[in-house]
């Protein structure tokens, strides 16, 4: 899941379902030296944080800036599938995850409908139009006009409004991200606003925060963007690690438990990582011994994980664990246990 989403140039000409209310009595009267203009950094932060999140379906359209609308039909790795809701994503991921050394392909049965970061619904008639939306997304990302999806504001919140003399003109209770986006994009050059702090928010790292100022909101964004960057970097590393493992055979170069290297217990074994996420351990000396099968999976958060599983009571059962990838190269994968960093394992490619 990317953090960034598209800030499109499409203007909203009609606002539907905007139910924010302006109070008859101002929550805060008088002047406010902290009021912000529509072009202020605070306005940009709140506008970008309120954009529509289109990142959940990136594995289908490769575009965090558009949300695919249902129903739609796609051909995934040669298999046609109709998606009625997000519940059907798992079927797509199962097809894509069948092999880890192939190039996944997705083609849509056009036309399809998408919702942009500005909550505008667009009919896409062909791949060229879909590619154009992706290019808009990349342009917005390069200009810092993309969405910030790693901070979820807990609604409702109240926005105080002011004129250019800093006299308060009213207050607006905002109930949703869409209403907040509308409020921010409707601000005129002669209108100012201030957030009625404190507000609460949840960051993508799971942290719940109380925000008491514009500066604290900026700090929260910086914190969660850094977390998302670390996740993206780990995801890229996971792809590299999986590519090194897939279809290759390894030996146990070291296996340290309680300070003792027990690699000699596995000196006769090769461990093969197949492209369909299976493990095959084979005794190369005693060829009458049958193969020992298991499974593996590479995943990531801010670190890269390798889960290995073998059946119990086999010669290689102890190699099954939830591992953290410590270091890697084209020939060596060094791991430590997720629950006990003193337990380490190193695979060497044959």
**Per-residue DSSP letters for 137-183?**
HHHHHHHT-S---SEEE-S-EEEEEEETTSBEEEEEEE-SHHHHHHH
CATH number at residue 308: 2.40.128.270
∠ CA 245-251-257 to the nearest 5 degrees?
Answer: 105
| Residue 232 and residue 271 in one domain | no
With b for 16 or more beta-carbon neighbours within 10 A and e for fewer, the 37-48 pattern comes to: bbeeebbbbbbb
| Residue 136 and residue 158 in one domain | yes
pLDDT of residue 32: 83
Residue 65 located in a structural domain = yes
What are the tens digits of pLDDT across the range 161-185? 999 999 999 999 999 999 999 999 9
SS (H, E, C) 214-238: HHHHHHHHHHHHHHHHHHHHHHHHH
Asked if 304 and 241 touch (Cβ cutoff 8 Å), the reply is yes
Q: How far, in Å, are 122, 159, 173 from residue 180 at the CA level?
A: 21, 9, 9
Residues present in the chain in total: 350
Residue 230 located in a structural domain = yes
pLDDT of residue 25: 39
| Residue 108 and residue 20 in one domain | yes
Q: Which domain holds residue 260?
A: 246-349
| Residue 102 and residue 20 in one domain | yes
| Residue 213 and residue 251 in one domain | no
| Residue 269 and residue 214 in one domain | no
pLDDT of residue 33: 82
Asked if 166 and 192 touch (Cβ cutoff 8 Å), the reply is yes
**Residue 56: strand pairing partners:** none
| Domain end call among 192, 208, 236 | 236
Residue 241 located in a structural domain = no
The low-confidence residues of the chain, meaning pLDDT below 70, are 1-30
Residue 292 located in a structural domain = yes
Residue 163 located in a structural domain = yes
| Residue 145 and residue 227 in one domain | yes
∠ CA 47-48-49 to the nearest 5 degrees?
Answer: 90
pLDDT of residue 6: 34
Token digits of residue 105: 């392909």
| Domain end call among 193, 213, 236 | 236
Residue 200 located in a structural domain = yes
Quote the number of domains for the chain: 2
- pTM value? 0.84
Residue 264 located in a structural domain = yes
| Residue 301 and residue 224 in one domain | no
| Residue 25 and residue 174 in one domain | yes
| Residue 148 and residue 284 in one domain | no
pLDDT of residue 289: 86
What mean pLDDT value characterizes the chain?
A: 92
Asked if 293 and 278 touch (Cβ cutoff 8 Å), the reply is yes
| Residue 232 and residue 319 in one domain | no
Close Cβ partners of 116 (under 8 Å, ≥ 6 residues apart): 6, 8, 10, 52, 54, 65, 66, 67, 122, 133
pLDDT of residue 31: 75
| Residue 85 and residue 172 in one domain | yes
The CA distance from 71 to 82, in Å, is 7
Residue 119 located in a structural domain = yes
| Domain end call among 213, 236, 259 | 236
Contacts 24+ apart (CB under 8 A), 94-103: 96/59, 97/277, 98/276, 99/275, 99/276, 100/242, 100/243, 100/246, 100/275, 100/276, 100/277, 100/298, 101/243, 101/246, 101/247, 101/275, 102/77, 102/275
């Amino acid at each position: 899941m990317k953090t960034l989403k598209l800030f499109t140039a499409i203007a909203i000409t009609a606002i539907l379902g905007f139910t924010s209310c302006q109070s008859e009595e101002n929550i805060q009267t008088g002047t406010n030296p902290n009021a912000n203009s529509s072009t202020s950094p605070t306005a940009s932060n709140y506008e970008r944080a309120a954009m529509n999140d289109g990142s959940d379906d990136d594995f289908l359209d490769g575009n965090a800036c558009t949300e695919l609308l249902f129903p739609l039909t796609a051909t995934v790795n040669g298999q046609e599938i109709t998606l009625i809701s997000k519940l059907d994503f798992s079927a797509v991921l199962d097809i894509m995850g069948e092999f880890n050394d192939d190039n996944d392909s997705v083609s849509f049965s056009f036309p399809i409908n998408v919702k942009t970061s500005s909550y505008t619904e667009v009919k896409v008639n062909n791949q060229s139009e879909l590619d154009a939306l992706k290019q808009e997304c990349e342009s917005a990302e390069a200009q810092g006009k993309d969405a910030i999806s790693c901070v979820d504001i807990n609604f409702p919140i109240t926005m105080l409004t002011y004129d250019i003399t800093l006299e308060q003109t009213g207050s607006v209770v905002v109930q949703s991200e869409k209403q907040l986006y509308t409020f921010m994009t409707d601000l005129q050059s002669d209108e100012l606003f201030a957030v009625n702090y404190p507000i609460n928010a949840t960051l993508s790292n799971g942290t719940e925060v109380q925000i008491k100022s514009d500066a604290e909101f900026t700090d929260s964004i910086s914190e969660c963007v850094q977390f998302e960057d670390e996740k993206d970097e780990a995801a890229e590393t996971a792809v590299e690690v999986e590519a090194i493992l897939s279809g290759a055979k390894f030996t146990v170069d070291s296996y340290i438990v309680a300070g003792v290297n027990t690699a000699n217990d596995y000196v006769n074994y090769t461990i093969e990582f197949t492209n369909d996420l299976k493990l095959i351990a084979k005794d190369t000396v005693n060829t009458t011994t049958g193969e020992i099968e298991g499974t593996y999976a590479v995943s990531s958060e801010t670190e890269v994980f390798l889960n290995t599983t073998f059946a119990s009571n086999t010669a290689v059962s102890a190699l099954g664990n939830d591992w953290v990838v410590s270091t890697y190269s084209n020939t060596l994968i060094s791991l430590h246990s997720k629950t006990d960093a003193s337990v380490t394992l190193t695979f060497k490619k044959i």
